[in-house]
């Protein structure tokens, strides 16, 4: 019997030297990656941290998540995925309730 890995938090940072910054009419890479994370893990499991970064709660490893996202990249673009279990935060802008509900 194969056990399904337990879900954990992954931080995903995406950037592009060629796409618009979000103020233009075309969609920027970070929005596209955030939407992709929602389709991979479910919209309720994705939390946008900034224009460039999101946190996703998933059973996929960092490498598996990177591989699922990299097909959306073009030349001059990148995605960074980190697996972490220890975090600390402060401030009213941080959605601590969302983070605490996902295992911490």
Answer whether residue 3 is part of any domain: no
Answer whether residue 30 is part of any domain: yes
Give the position of tokens 């954990």: 8
pLDDT tens column, 4-61:
777 889 999 998 877 665 444 346 788 889 999 999 999 999 999 888 899 999 999 9
Answer whether residue 38 is part of any domain: yes
Q: Which domain holds residue 63?
A: 8-100
Phi/psi at 7 (nearest 5 deg)? -70, 150
82, 73 contact by CB (below 8 A):
no
Q: How many domains does the chain have?
A: 1
Element (H, E) at 82: strand 77-84
Answer whether residue 2 is part of any domain: no
pTM for the complete prediction?
Answer: 0.77
**Domain with 65 in it: what CATH number?**
3.30.70
Structure tokens at 65: 């998540």
């Amino acid at each position: 019997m194969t056990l399904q890995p337990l879900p954990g938090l992954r931080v995903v940072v995406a950037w592009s030297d060629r796409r618009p910054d979000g103020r233009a009419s075309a969609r920027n890479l970070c929005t596209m990656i955030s939407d992709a994370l929602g389709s991979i893990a479910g919209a309720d499991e994705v939390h946008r941290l900034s224009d460039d970064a999101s946190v996703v709660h998933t059973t996929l490893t960092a490498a598996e998540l990177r591989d699922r996202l990299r097909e959306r990249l073009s030349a001059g673009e990148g995605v960074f995925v980190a697996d972490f279990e220890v975090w600390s935060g402060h401030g009213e802008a941080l959605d601590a309730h969302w983070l605490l509900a996902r295992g911490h």
